[in-house]
Amino acid sequence: MRLIPSSPLSCLGTAAVAVVVGGFVLVGCDVVDTDEFDMDFSFFSADGEESPDEDPSAGPGDEEGEEEETEQETASYGLPESCAAAGAAEVVGDLAPGPVLAEDVGPVEGIDGAEQVVCSFSDGSGTAGAPSLTLVFTSGADPSASPDVVQVPGAEEEMNWEVDIDVDVDTYHTDESDSLGGDLEYVGTVDGSSRNLYLSLPDDLYVTVVSYGEEVPREDLERIVMQAAERVRG
């Protein structure tokens, strides 16, 4: 800071002039080391008015928005202990084709370190081709890259992707998937008999929903994986 007065300062003035320059206080014509005083000038602005404690340009919602942003950055995902712990029945709701829940919890065969929780809803008949809706949580393996990771009870033959079946594939984002930090991939047979929706999440966790034997709209599948992801979000 450089001071260029229009005329020399007079020591006889009736008003004292105090300016901080380079760690010193200039009072009138004398120079005083600020270390000799316990003085706090932070409460006053250049025009002598008291400075506000907070930035006036900051809106009331700015601090809340920063907190939400930090929370999203630190959020983590973990594999649930069971279908009940994941709230699978509540998430699937009326889309379940039957009241019977088949649960399978354990390691993924053939993939070291991978584990999953499979929650499959059906009428319990066990008949091949019977409608089912399966919600799968997988850790350590990407089901969209390895479809065999997801096993649907009663539909093993039809779900074998080595068979020549026409499918639609779509990788995309939504505002909700972005808020979860995830990516979506849809794979469905052209005839609508099977529809898979994969949601990849941070921490190498994946949520998959498979509708077999019934044409469940994609928006309903999206709702299921999003709500399921919220359930396992730390």
Greater model confidence, 152 or 18: 152
Tokens of 86: 């994941």
State the pLDDT at residue 91.
Answer: 97
Least confident of 46-50, 115-119, 165-169, 227-231: 46-50
Average confidence score pLDDT of the chain:
76
Greater model confidence, 171 or 10: 171
Least confident of 50-54, 89-93, 131-135, 193-197: 50-54
What digits encode the pLDDT tens for the residues 108-166? 988 999 999 999 999 988 787 789 999 999 999 999 988 677 766 655 444 444 456 78
Tokens of 45: 């602005």
State the pLDDT at residue 229.
Answer: 97
Cβ–Cβ under 8 Å, residues 144 and 171: no
HEC letters along 16-51: CCEEEECCEEEECCEEEEHHHCCCCCCCECCCCCEC
State the pLDDT at residue 158.
Answer: 45
| pLDDT of 31 above 90 | no
Measured between alpha carbons, how far is 232 from 108 in angstroms, rounded to an integer? 19
| pLDDT of 54 above 90 | no
Measured between alpha carbons, how far is 32 from 183 in angstroms, rounded to an integer? 64
Q: What is the pTM of this model?
A: 0.66
Q: What percent of the chain has pLDDT over 70?
A: 62
Greater model confidence, 149 or 198: 198
| pLDDT of 49 above 80 | no
